[in-house]
Homo-oligomer: A and B are copies of this chain.
Amino acid sequence: MKIRVFTILILMIVSGLAEDKLRYTNATELRIQGTAFSVAEKENPFHRLPRYAQELVRREVWDLSTNSAGIFIDFYTNSSFLKLKWEVTKNFTMEHMAGTGIRGLDLYCKNKGKWQYVATAKSAGKVSEKVIIENMSGTMKEFRLYLPLYDGIESLEIGIHADAQIEKGQAYSEKPLVFYGTSITQGGCASRPGMAYPNIISRKLDKNCINLGFSGNGWLQEPMARILAGIEADMIVLDCLPNMTIKMVHENIPKAIDIIRQKQPQVPIVLVENINYETNYFNFLQYQDIYDKNGALRYEFNQLMENNYRNIYLLSAKGLIGLDHEGTVDGVHLTDLGFLRFAENFIARLKKQGLIK
């Protein structure tokens, strides 16, 4: 008992949160990952597309690209606490997604070689200041902080004990995996940023994954295909079917693949089928719609195979989010449950194809 009280007292002293013992570091001084473009190329360090893209893509796509989905900050620190100060761009709500997923931040720490969840910072409005974790041991640790999925970040500072050190995390030496798609790709409706499937895949494979999901706007038009082609990648995943019409599938997919192939002749390209929305087991009109769209995708995939395109893969959506119909909030958008299953099945299926080691 005496030892316990002593330990607590020591921890309380070490972790003392007195403002005069707090020192903020701008997140831009740390390692910004999960983005294909440098701070210099962008209007805001936490945007997902470079400045020049604003002239090329539709206004809706540009607006969504200012959401920080998939961007994360890697750093080392030995501070016994972490305090965050951040300002979001919009501060809006969605009925079927928690604020923590829309505009919160969540923290992971590398533990025995694996990224482990630490804590979540809930937004308090446009500007927030929150202690995300305290009473930690004072050893040097590797942290990862995920940024909001459906809002933008105007500024972000990470507060540590004034006597502690903070350093940039390591850059990935390998090329990233790029995920292009829809609201589901962007992370709707994860409970917190780290649970969007590109972020889960990134942790599980310890690879830099880039989230180019654009809610409702994953149409794969030519300007976006050119942007994708310009991102040197280890894999490009096209998970945009839910936002496409059958006409778009036939017109935009082969064109986009040609554009990517001109720049990256060998990069593996994964075409993901449309998951069958849970509601469709009862709503027969919607069922037919998805069935036809997946048929169109399979047709285009077969055409590509016949025309000797290589390193193109078709990922079946069957069972991708499980078979118990429980992985969504509204029949369409995945919860953390659906996202974890998506990530696990995605990895298992691509491993089977030899695409992932």
In the bound complex, CA of A281 to CA of B108 (Å): 11
Instruction: Say which one of A19-27, A89-97, A176-184, A247-255 lies at the interface with B.
Output: A89-97
Kindly list 14 other residue pairs between chains A and B, CB separation below 8 angstroms, not including A94-B98, A116-B325, A326-B340.
Answer: A8-B285, A95-B100, A96-B98, A98-B98, A98-B189, A119-B283, A119-B331, A120-B329, A120-B330, A135-B286, A191-B335, A326-B336, A327-B336, A337-B337
A99 to B116 CA separation, bound complex (whole angstroms): 28
Determine if A47 is an interface residue (Cβ-Cβ < 8 Å).
no
On whether the beta carbons of A135 and B283 are closer than 8 Å, the reply is yes
Contacts of A285 in B (CB 8 A): 8, 11-12, 135
Query: Out of B191, B192, B325, which one reaches A117, CB within 8 Å?
Result: B325
Docked Cα-Cα span, A192 to B191, in Å, equals 12
Return chain B residues, CB-CB under 8 Å to A116.
281, 325
Question: A239 within 8 Å of B by Cβ?
Answer: no
Report how far A137 CA is from B11 CA in the complex, Å.
63
Smallest beta-carbon distance A282→chain B, Å: 5
Tell me, yes or no, whether A88 is within 8 Å of chain B by CB: no
Render A305-331 as a binary contact track against B, CB cut-off 8 A, 1 for contact. 000000000000000000001111111
**In the complex, A122 has a CB within 8 A of chain B:** yes
Going nearest first, the 8 A-B pairs with the smallest beta carbon separation are A95-B99, A191-B329, A337-B337, A336-B337, A335-B336, A135-B285, A95-B122, A117-B325
- Distance from A325 Cβ to chain B, minimum over Cβ atoms (Å): 4
**A233 contacts B by Cβ under 8 Å:** no
**Does A282 contact B136, Cβ atoms closer than 8 Å?**
yes
**A127 touches B (CB below 8 Å):** no
- Shortest C-beta distance, A284 to chain B (Å), equals 5
Q: Are A284 and B325 in contact (CB under 8 A)?
A: no
Alpha-carbon separation in the docked complex, A329 to B104 (Å): 10
A281 CA to B8 CA, complexed, in Å: 15
- Whether, in the assembled complex, A4 has its beta carbon less than 8 Å from a beta carbon of chain B, the answer is yes
Are A96 and B120 in contact, CB atoms less than 8 angstroms apart? yes
Interface residues of A in 76-125 (CB under 8 A from B): 93-100, 104, 109, 111, 116-120, 122-123
Instruction: Kindly identify which residue among B8, B119, B336 contacts A288, using a CB–CB cutoff of 8 Å.
Output: B8
Q: Does A151 contact B (CB under 8 A)?
A: no
Contacts of A109 in B (CB 8 A): 282
Interface size on A, residues (CB 8 A): 52
Task: Give A65 to B330 CA distance when docked, in angstroms.
Answer: 26
Does the CB pair B284–A11 fall under 8 Å? yes
Question: Least Cβ distance of A232 to chain B in Å?
Answer: 31
Interface flags, A330-342, vs B, CB<8A=1, else 0: 1100011100100
Question: How many angstroms from the CA of A63 to the CA of B328 in the assembled complex?
Answer: 30
User: What residues on B are CB-neighbors of A123 within 8 Å?
Assistant: 95
Q: Which residues of B contact A266 (CB under 8 A)?
A: none
A74 close to chain B: CB less than 8 A: no
CB of A134 closer than 8 Å to a CB of B: yes
- Closest chain-B Cβ to A146's Cβ sits at a distance in Å of 13
CA distance A96 to B103 in the complex (A): 10
| Pairs across A and B, CB under 8 Å, 9 listed | A95-B122, A109-B282, A119-B282, A122-B330, A137-B284, A191-B329, A191-B335, A195-B326, A337-B337
